[in-house]
Amino acid sequence: MTAPAAGRPEGYDPYAFEPFAVTVDLAVFTVRDERLHVLLVERGQEPFRGAWALPGGFVLPQESAEQAARRELAEETGLLPRTVAGLHLEQLRTYSDPDRDPRMRVVSVAYTALVPDLPEPRGGGDAARARWTPYGTDGPLAFDHERILADAHERIGAKLEYTCLATAFCPPEFTLGELRQVYETVWGVALDRPNFRRKVLTTPGFVEAVEGPPRRTGGRGKPAALYRAGAASALHPPLLRPEGRSS
């Protein structure tokens, strides 16, 4: 309105304005031991030294936010970049409150990643430690990461309804029981097994049966047939969670 930056500045002098820092933050979810877990790192520096936070870091001058997110994810989890390249990574939203970082203006692009159960992370990079934490048991997180995490949880819960995203939580071959576990864990509800099975199998392209009917001895109970993720990405009609309302 009145400040010089209200329009695109004449000369585009990169140093004419107080600079913004741009970071990425990652809400990485997995299903482990029938509970939803989030990847958290312990901060090694002030502010919030010793507090837990979402993994993340600065976007470098020559990379996009998504490239930065994948790089950080590889660093924090110790996964091979090749593996990280195949993971489901989705931009959540951007957090830009002027006071969200006490030191300077930091705008953060948040991403959500869904991964199958992975080995324990090796606190890489600048993070003191990294670990999988059951969702909900995380104490207060640094910065506005509590809010980001809540937004991410809401988003994946909603996306399970109308996309085939749930398979991203599963290993390459999985049983319908494992797939159902994903829904039950993220939504926090119990689903009727026969109905879930019917819905998944009658949705074209959601899953495809693995050929020579091998069976998995998960633990107790009758062995189950194995499936792979299908070619579809959307669910029509959607698989709505019980109780109606989203979020």
Residues at the contact surface with a second copy, assessed by CB under 8 A? 1, 3, 5-10, 12, 14-15, 17-22, 45, 57-66, 71, 75, 91, 93-94, 96-98, 103-105, 107, 109, 125-126, 162, 234, 236-238, 240, 244-246
> What is the signed CA dihedral for 113, 119, 121, 122, rounded to 10 degrees?
-150
Among 175, 187, 210, 230, binds DNA (CB under 7 A): 175
Considering only the stretches 37-45, 99-107, 152-160, 210-218, report the one whose residues sit in contact with DNA under the rule CB under 7 A. Answer: 210-218
**Beta strand pairing status for 207-209 and 227-229?**
antiparallel
How many angstroms separate the CA atoms of 242 and 187, rounded?
A: 9
- Taking the complex as a whole, the smallest distance from the CB of residue 232 to DNA amounts, in Å, to 14
34 vs 243, beta carbon nearer a second copy: 243
Q: Which residues contact residue 57 at a Cβ distance below 8 angstroms, ignoring those fewer than 6 apart?
A: 23, 24, 68, 72, 75, 125, 126
Q: Which does 122 bind (CB under 5 to 8 A by kind): DNA, a second copy, none?
A: none
- Taking the complex as a whole, the smallest distance from the CB of residue 87 to a second copy amounts, in Å, to 18
Structure-token pair, residue 216: 């998995």
How many angstroms separate the CA atoms of 30 and 87, rounded?
A: 12
SS3 102: coil
98 vs 139, beta carbon nearer a second copy: 98
- Taking the complex as a whole, the smallest distance from the CB of residue 152 to DNA amounts, in Å, to 25
Among 224, 228, 230, 232, binds DNA (CB under 7 A): 224
Residue 95: exposure state from Cβ atoms within 10 A (0-12, 13-18, ≥19): buried
- Taking the complex as a whole, the smallest distance from the CB of residue 194 to a second copy amounts, in Å, to 21
Among 134, 188, 214, 218, binds DNA (CB under 7 A): 218
